C-alpha cells in the first residue's frame, strides 16, 4: 500500500479535532522547512512560511518567482468534522449514572452515534493562561465513553418515531461513571477527582474548555482487497491531508503556492477561523507586506488572479440507494478526484458555479498529468444538497471550483473512501500547484 494512504490513515487516527490537525500540520511543515511567518520581515522566492489562526486554521505558503499580484495557486480544505461538543457545564449525575452533556456540531444522523466507543479530544484553558491538551478514552487507554440507547424489548414507542426524532439531541450524553456510593452526587464527585488528578483541572475549568466527543479508535483499511479506508473525520481531512502532502513535496514555485486548511465549515464557515471571515485576506496581506507592499489593490489583485481548488468530499454513488443518484452525473468510489461545477440545493442555491473556461484549463492540466477525474453532482436534482467554501473565495473574483474525494456514508461516525481516490487527489493537487 502506498505511503500516502498509510500516512493518511495514521494522520486521521491521531488527529480528530481541528486543533490537533493544525498542531500536526505545523510539525510536519516545520520538518519540511516551513517557518512561522512571524520570523520573517521580508520574503523571497523559495521561502516557505505558515500562519496559524488561533491554532484552528492554518495557511502554508511557498513564495513563487512571479509577483504575488499575478495570483496564487491555492489548495483549500477544511479540518473540522461533525462531532459532539461537551457543554460548558457538562458533568451531571442522574439516577446513579454520571454523564457528560453534549451539544452536537455539524450535520449528523443522531442515531448513528449511540452504543459505540466514544473518545474526548480537546483543550482545557485555565485562568493562569495554561492550555491543557486532553485525549480521553482512545484505544490505548484503559477506558472509553459511550452513549446508551433503549433496548429493543421496550422500544415500541421509540421505533414508531422517525429517524430524525428517535434519538433527541439532549439524549446524546456520554456515560462516564456510576454512583456506587450511598450518597447522591458522589459518582459525579469521583469523576471530578479523577479529572483533577489527571489534568489538574477544577470543575470551573469546563467553562473555558473545548472538548469534542468523537468516535474512539483508529482508522483502517476496509475490505479484503484493502482498496478502501474506513475512519472518522475523512470529511474533509482526506482533502486536507492530501493537499498538505502535495504542498510539502512541492518545489520551485512560479506562482506562489498556498495550502489553506480551515475550521468551522460544518457549521457554515462562521467565526474567526472559518472561511466566511477575513482570514484569507489577512494572511495574504501579511504575505504582501513581506514581498513588497500590502497596498489594498495589490492584495486584491493577488486574490482576484488566484486559482483555487476548494476541496471538500463529495457524496459517492451508493449502489444500495440508486434512486437518489443520477448515475451519469455522480461520483463513484475509485473513480478518481471529483470536480463539482456547482453544489448548492434546490436549483443550485448557495452554489459557486465554476466558469467553463476554468474547468477547461483544469481538464487540460489533469489530462497532461495523468490524473483520473470525474465531474459530478452530489445527487439527483432536489433530493438535497449543501454549500461549500468555494463561494467565499469566489467573492474575491478568483477562479475556484469544488473538488475532492468521494465518500460513502459521509458524516457518519465512520466514513468510507477509496485508496485510489486518495492517491489521485494528491496527484491532482500536485499538478494544480504548477498551473500557470
Ligand atoms: Mn461535511
Ligand atoms: Mn466537508
* CA of 233 relative to ligand 1 center, distance in Å: 9
Contact between 430 and 246 (Cβ < 8 Å): yes
The pLDDT value given to residue 396:
97
pLDDT above 80 for 138: yes
* CA of 411 relative to ligand 1 center, distance in Å: 6
pLDDT band at 116 (very low <50, low <70, confident <90, very high): very high
Ligand 1 ion local residues (Cβ < 5 A): 235
pLDDT band at 1 (very low <50, low <70, confident <90, very high): low
Q: Looking at the CA of 275, which ligand is closest? A: 2
Among candidates 41, 38, 165, which has minimal Cα distance to 109?
A: 165
* CA of 150 relative to ligand 1 center, distance in Å: 28
* CA of 76 relative to ligand 1 center, distance in Å: 14
Q: Give percent above pLDDT 90 in the chain.
A: 92
* CA of 21 relative to ligand 2 center, distance in Å: 15
* CA of 151 relative to ligand 1 center, distance in Å: 31
* CA of 409 relative to ligand 1 center, distance in Å: 11
* Section 75-92 average pLDDT: 98
* CA of 342 relative to ligand 2 center, distance in Å: 14
* CA of 275 relative to ligand 1 center, distance in Å: 14
* CA of 82 relative to ligand 1 center, distance in Å: 7
What are the phi and psi torsion angles at 231 (to 5°)?
Answer: 180, 165
Long-range contacts, 3-7 (Cβ 8 Å, 24+)? 4/242, 4/245, 4/422, 4/423, 4/426, 5/229, 5/419, 5/422, 5/423, 7/241, 7/245
Tell me: the pLDDT tens digits for 161-209?
Answer: 999 999 999 999 999 999 988 899 999 999 999 999 999 999 999 999 9
DSSP for 11-76 reads: HHHH--SHHHHHHHHHHHHHHTT-EEGGG-SS--TT-EEEEEETTTEEEEEE--SS-GGG-EEEEE
* CA of 236 relative to ligand 2 center, distance in Å: 5
* Section 199-224 average pLDDT: 97
Give the H/E segment covering residue 248.
helix 234-248
Q: Looking at the CA of 239, which ligand is closest? A: 2
Residues across the chain: 436
The pLDDT value given to residue 310:
97
Report the C-alpha gap between 405 and 426 in whole angstroms: 10
pLDDT above 90 for 33: yes
Whether residue 236 has a cis bond before it, omega within 30° of 0: yes
Report the C-alpha gap between 34 and 50 in whole angstroms: 7
Contact between 135 and 121 (Cβ < 8 Å): yes
Among candidates 410, 397, 252, which has minimal Cα distance to 338?
A: 410
The pLDDT value given to residue 181:
81
The pLDDT value given to residue 346:
83
Among candidates 35, 39, 40, which has minimal Cα distance to 50?
A: 35
pLDDT above 70 for 416: yes
Contacts of 278 (CB under 8 A, 6+ apart): none
Read off the DSSP letter of residue 351.
-
* Section 236-253 average pLDDT: 98
- Residue position matching grid coordinates 462516564: 176
Q: Looking at the CA of 77, which ligand is closest? A: 2
Q: Which residues pair with 307 in a beta bridge?
A: 73, 399
pLDDT band at 279 (very low <50, low <70, confident <90, very high): very high
Read off the DSSP letter of residue 317.
P
* CA of 129 relative to ligand 1 center, distance in Å: 33
The pLDDT value given to residue 377:
87
Q: Looking at the CA of 238, which ligand is closest? A: 2
* CA of 236 relative to ligand 1 center, distance in Å: 7
Contact between 102 and 89 (Cβ < 8 Å): no
Q: Looking at the CA of 412, which ligand is closest? A: 1
pLDDT band at 327 (very low <50, low <70, confident <90, very high): very high
pLDDT above 90 for 234: yes
Report the C-alpha gap between 304 and 309 in whole angstroms: 14
Tell me: the pLDDT tens digits for 139-164?
Answer: 787 999 999 999 999 999 999 999 99
* CA of 108 relative to ligand 1 center, distance in Å: 9
Task: Report the range of poorest mean pLDDT among 49-53, 177-181, 238-242.
Answer: 177-181
* CA of 153 relative to ligand 1 center, distance in Å: 35
Q: What is the mean pLDDT of the chain?
A: 96
* CA of 310 relative to ligand 1 center, distance in Å: 13
* CA of 204 relative to ligand 1 center, distance in Å: 32
* 333-350 per-residue burial string, b: 16 or more CB within 10 A, e: under 16: bbbbbbbbbbbbbeeeee
Contacts of 390 (CB under 8 A, 6+ apart): 308, 310, 343, 351, 352, 354, 400, 401, 402
* CA of 24 relative to ligand 1 center, distance in Å: 21
Beta strand residue intervals within 276-396, DSSP E: 307-311, 314-315, 337-340, 344-345, 373-375, 385-386
Task: Report the range of poorest mean pLDDT among 97-106, 157-166, 179-188, 230-239.
Answer: 179-188
* Section 251-263 average pLDDT: 98
* CA of 420 relative to ligand 2 center, distance in Å: 19
* CA of 83 relative to ligand 2 center, distance in Å: 13
Amino acid at each position: 500500500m502506498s505511503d500516502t494512504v498509510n500516512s493518511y490513515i495514521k494522520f486521521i487516527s491521531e488527529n480528530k479535532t481541528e486543533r490537533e490537525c493544525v498542531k500536526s500540520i505545523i510539525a510536519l511543515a516545520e520538518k519540511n522547512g516551513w517557518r512561522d511567518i512571524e520570523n520573517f520581515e521580508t520574503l523571497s522566492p523559495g521561502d516557505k512560511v505558515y500562519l496559524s489562526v488561533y491554532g484552528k486554521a492554518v495557511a502554508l505558503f511557498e513564495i513563487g518567482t512571479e509577483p504575488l499580484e499575478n495570483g496564487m495557486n491555492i489548495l483549500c480544505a477544511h479540518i473540522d468534522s461533525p462531532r459532539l461538543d461537551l457543554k460548558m457545564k457538562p458533568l451531571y449525575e442522574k439516577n446513579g449514572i454520571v454523564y457528560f452533556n453534549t451539544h452536537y456540531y455539524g450535520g449528523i444522523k443522531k442515531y448513528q452515534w449511540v452504543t459505540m466507543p466514544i473518545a474526548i479530544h480537546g483543550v482545557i484553558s485555565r485562568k493562569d493562561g495554561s492550555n491543557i491538551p486532553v485525549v480521553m478514552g482512545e484505544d490505548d487507554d484503559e477506558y472509553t465513553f459511550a452513549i446508551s440507547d433503549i433496548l429493543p424489548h421496550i422500544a415500541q414507542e421509540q421505533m414508531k418515531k422517525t429517524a430524525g426524532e428517535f434519538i433527541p439531541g439532549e439524549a446524546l450524553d456520554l456515560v462516564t461513571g456510576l454512583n456506587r456510593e450511598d450518597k447522591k452526587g458522589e459518582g459525579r464527585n469521583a469523576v471530578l477527582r479523577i479529572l483533577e488528578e489527571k489534568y489538574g483541572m477544577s470543575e470551573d475549568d469546563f467553562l473555558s474548555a473545548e472538548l469534542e466527543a468523537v468516535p474512539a479508535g483508529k482508522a483502517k483499511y476496509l475490505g479484503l482487497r484493502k482498496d478502501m479506508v474506513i475512519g472518522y473525520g475523512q470529511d474533509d481531512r482526506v482533502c486536507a491531508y492530501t493537499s498538505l502532502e502535495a504542498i510539502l513535496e512541492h518545489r520551485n514555485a512560479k506562482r506562489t503556492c498556498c495550502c489553506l486548511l480551515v475550521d468551522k465549515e460544518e457549521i457554515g464557515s462562521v467565526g474567526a477561523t472559518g472561511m466566511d471571515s477575513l482570514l484569507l485576506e489577512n494572511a495574504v496581506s501579511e504575505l504582501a507586506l513581506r514581498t513588497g507592499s500590502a497596498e489594498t489593490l495589490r492584495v486584491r489583485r493577488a486574490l482576484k488572479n488566484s486559482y483555487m481548488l476548494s476541496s471538500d468530499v463529495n457524496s459517492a454513488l451508493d449502489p444500495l440507494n440508486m434512486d437518489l443518484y443520477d448515475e451519469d452525473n455522480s461520483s463513484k468510489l475509485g473513480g478518481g478526484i471529483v470536480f463539482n461545477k456547482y453544489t448548492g440545493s434546490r436549483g443550485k442555491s448557495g452554489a459557486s458555479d465554476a466558469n467553463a473556461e476554468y474547468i477547461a484549463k483544469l481538464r487540460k492540466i489533469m489530462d497532461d498529468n495523468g490524473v483520473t477525474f470525474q465531474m459530478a453532482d452530489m445527487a439527483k436534482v432536489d433530493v438535497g444538497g449543501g454549500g461549500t467554501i468555494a463561494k467565499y473565495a469566489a467573492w474575491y473574483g478568483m477562479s475556484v471550483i469544488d473538488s475532492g474525494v468521494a465518500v460513502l456514508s459521509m458524516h457518519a461516525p465512520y466514513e468510507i473512501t477509496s485508496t485510489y481516490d486518495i492517491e489521485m487527489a494528491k496527484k491532482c493537487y500536485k499538478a494544480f500547484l504548477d498551473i500557470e
